[in-house]
Structure 1
Amino acid sequence: MKKVTRFFWFCSGAHIDTLKKYPIEHNKYVGIGATIFFTALFAALSGGYAMYFVFSGSAFAVGFAILFGLLWGTAIFNMDRYIVSSINKEGTTSQQILQASPRILLAIMIGIVISRPLELKIFDKEIRQKLRTSYSKAQNRKIDTLKLTYEQKYSMEMTKNQDLKKEKDSLERDINRSRYQLNQEVFGDKTNQTSGITGYGTYAKQKEAVLVEKQNRLKTVTDDIGKMDEYLATRKQAEGLNDLKLFTPKQLDSLTAIAGFADRNWALGQLGYNDKGERELDTYLAISFIGYLFILFECLPVFVKLMSPKGPYDVAMAKTMEANIYYADKDKERDMSVTDHTYDHTLDEDIARRKRIITAQSDYDFERHRFD
């Protein structure tokens, strides 16, 4: 337990040698350190899970996830540790809140970042269902758009093809009716359209000629329809319309399995809304609650430090800081004094050297003048 306690003291950023002297403060900093440690642990899990989705399908996905999770957790741990340890308890409550406000904002941002990947995992089934629906609707819209473009581009050819098919249907009905009337004429059935004379006479030959003409026209129309259908089928293939089909359930499962982080994050945001675009309060609150929980968890060490009264450890650390500042100033003054003394000593030596040079020059000039 001593090792665990010292570890959590380290996590809280406290000066362990000073904290040991004040047992009343031990539990408070154990709680702060534990909160910082578990926040970093959740951050590592969240970052690793997010990185696993980034490299999903790769043979190194697990390795990258573990490496990034450790790096991300360590970064959050160091940041939280600095945030908590840098709050000064010597000021007033307003000064402490003002001092901690940037740190609280940073803690909120960190809470949002580390909570999102875990929310994606918690609502994984609902996200998959939302993605299936989204992919299916997107495929339908794509097919409809291509169909509309195809119909607009080849509207003249399609209209002509429809007219040919209508003419074909009309010719087939006329041929059947003409063939029946020809039989009536040959067998002598008296009607408004036949003469009633039995045998293959003039009227029968006329009706047969009309029948042959319609049959020839039907053959021409049928050939034109075949050519037009072949042309339109070729155009469909060229436009890519034949390659588009609705996704099967198995294909939808495969697409949702390889969905990226952006798609899953979008689907998570859409869970709070129904098909009509109206907000579903229960689902929205469930998703928001998890995010708020992590934000509160991330801000908790700062709140604990702000809410806790100034204790003997804080007073001792303030006095230690003042002493360190005092001794640092003294050291600076001493260093400056040594520098000034060295400068003065150097200056005196330079003046003496110049005097010796001037004296030597004067003696030289005097001797030279006397020699001359």
Structure 2
Amino acid sequence: MNKITRFFWFCSGAHIGTLKKYPIEHNKYVGIGATIFFTALFASLSGGYAMYFVFSGNAFAVGFAILFGLLWGTAIFNMDRYIVSSINKQGSTNSQILQASPRILLAIMIGVVISRPLELKIFDKEIRQKLKTAYLKGQHSKIDTLQKTYQQKYAMELGHNLDLKKEKDSLEKDINHSRFELNQEVFGDKTNQTSGLSGYGTYAKQKQAVLQEKETRLKTVTDDLGKMDNYLGQRKDYEGLNSTRLFSDKQLDSLANVAGFADRNWALGQLAYNANGTRDLDTYLAESFIGYLFILFECLPVFVKLMSPKGPYDVAVAKTAEANMHFAERDKDRDMAVTDEVYDYQLENDVEHRKKIITGQSAYDIERHSYE
């Protein structure tokens, strides 16, 4: 327990030597240190998952995720530790809040950043379903667009093809009716359209000629229709209509698995809305509370430091800092005085040296005098 306590003291950024003298402050800084540690731990997990998601499918994805998770967690740990340890408890409440405001804003930003990847993982199943629906809807829209473009581009050919089909259907009906009348004429059935005389006579030959004329026209229309269908089929291949199909369930699963961060982040945002565009309150509150939880967790060390009253440790640290500043100023003045003395001594020696040169002393005497 002593090792754990000292570890959390280290996490809180406290001066352990000073903190040991005040047992009443021990638990407070254990709590602050534990909060900072677990915030960094969650940040490490969040960053590791985000990196694993980026390199998903790569053989080194796990290694990259672990390495980035450790680096990201360490960075957040160091930042939180600095934020908490740099809050000065000597000022008034307003000054402390003003001092902590930039740090709270930074903590909120960090909370948002570390919460998003974990939200993506928590709502992974719902995100996949939303992505499948979006991909299927997008494919429908793509096919409709291609179909509309194709119909506008080849409107004349499609109109001519439709006319040929109508003429073909009409000819087929007429041929069947003419063939029936021809049989009635040959077999002598008396109707409004037949003479009632059996045998292959004049009327039968006339009806046979009309029938052959219609069959010839039907053959021509059928050939033209086949050529037009072949041409339009080639145009569909060229425009991509024949190659564009709706996604199967297997394809949708594959697309959802390889979806990028932008698509998944969009899907997570869309979970809070129903199909008719209204807000789904339950999902919205679930997403919001997860984000708020991480933001609160990130801000908690700062809030704890602000809410805690000024204790003996804070007073001792302030006095130590003040004493260190005094010693630093004193050492600075002393160093400046010594520097001035050295400079004056060097200047004096330099003047004496010049005088000796002017009076004609030899270089040997000057050097010996300097040595002595």
Matches within 5 A, 1:235-246: 235-246=235-246
Matches within 5 A, 1:167-178: 167-178=167-178
Counterpart of 1:164 in structure 2 is 164
Q: Which residue identity is paired with 1:69?
A: G
Matches of 2:129 and 2:353, distance apart in 1: 94
Counterpart of 1:369 in structure 2 is none
Counterpart of 2:87 in structure 1 is 87
Matched position secondary structure for 1:360: coil
Counterpart of 1:210 in structure 2 is 210
* C-alpha displacement of 1:235: 1.1
Counterpart of 2:107 in structure 1 is 107
* C-alpha displacement of 1:355: 2.6
Counterpart of 1:262 in structure 2 is 262
Q: Which residue identity is paired with 1:235?
A: R
Structure 2: which 5+ runs fail to align? Answer: 362-372
Matches of 2:158 and 2:34, distance apart in 1: 74
- Paired-residue identity, %: 80
Matches of 1:119 and 1:244, distance apart in 2: 34
Q: Which residue identity is paired with 2:99?
A: Q
Counterpart of 2:19 in structure 1 is 19
* C-alpha displacement of 1:360: 3.2
* C-alpha displacement of 1:161: 0.7
Counterpart of 2:222 in structure 1 is 222
Q: Which residue identity is paired with 2:51?
A: M
* C-alpha displacement of 1:295: 0.3
Matches of 2:296 and 2:350, distance apart in 1: 69
Counterpart of 1:365 in structure 2 is none
Counterpart of 1:196 in structure 2 is 196
* C-alpha displacement of 1:66: 0.7
* C-alpha displacement of 1:240: 1.3
Q: Which residue identity is paired with 1:294?
A: F
Counterpart of 2:154 in structure 1 is 154
Out of 204-213 and 16-25, give the one that drifted further. Answer: 204-213
* C-alpha displacement of 1:233: 1.0
Counterpart of 2:366 in structure 1 is none
Out of 349-358 and 212-221, give the one that drifted further. Answer: 349-358
Matches of 1:200 and 1:122, distance apart in 2: 87
Out of 242-251 and 168-177, give the one that drifted further. Answer: 242-251
Moved over 6 A (4+): none
Instruction: Please give the per-residue CA displacement for 1:113-162, whole angstroms capped at 9, x wherever unaligned.
Output: 11111111111111111111111111111111111111111111111111
- 1:9 corresponds to 2:9: yes
Matches of 1:79 and 1:241, distance apart in 2: 56
Instruction: Please give the per-residue CA displacement for 1:206-254, whole angstroms capped at 9, x wherever unaligned.
Output: 1111110100000000011111111111111111111111111222122
TM-score, with structure 2 as normaliser? 0.95
Q: Which residue identity is paired with 2:282?
A: D
TM-score, with structure 1 as normaliser? 0.95
Matched position secondary structure for 1:293: helix
Q: Which residue identity is paired with 2:311?
A: G
Counterpart of 1:62 in structure 2 is 62
* C-alpha displacement of 1:195: 2.3
Q: Which residue identity is paired with 1:17?
A: G
Q: Which residue identity is paired with 2:75?
A: A
Counterpart of 1:370 in structure 2 is none
* C-alpha displacement of 1:342: 1.4
Q: Which residue identity is paired with 1:291?
A: G
* C-alpha displacement of 1:197: 2.6
Matches within 5 A, 1:1-372: 1-360=1-360
Structure 1: which 5+ runs fail to align? Answer: 362-372
Q: Which residue identity is paired with 1:11?
A: C
Size of the aligned set, in residue pairs, is: 361
Matches of 2:242 and 2:35, distance apart in 1: 59
Matches of 1:2 and 1:153, distance apart in 2: 81
Q: Which residue identity is paired with 1:207?
A: K
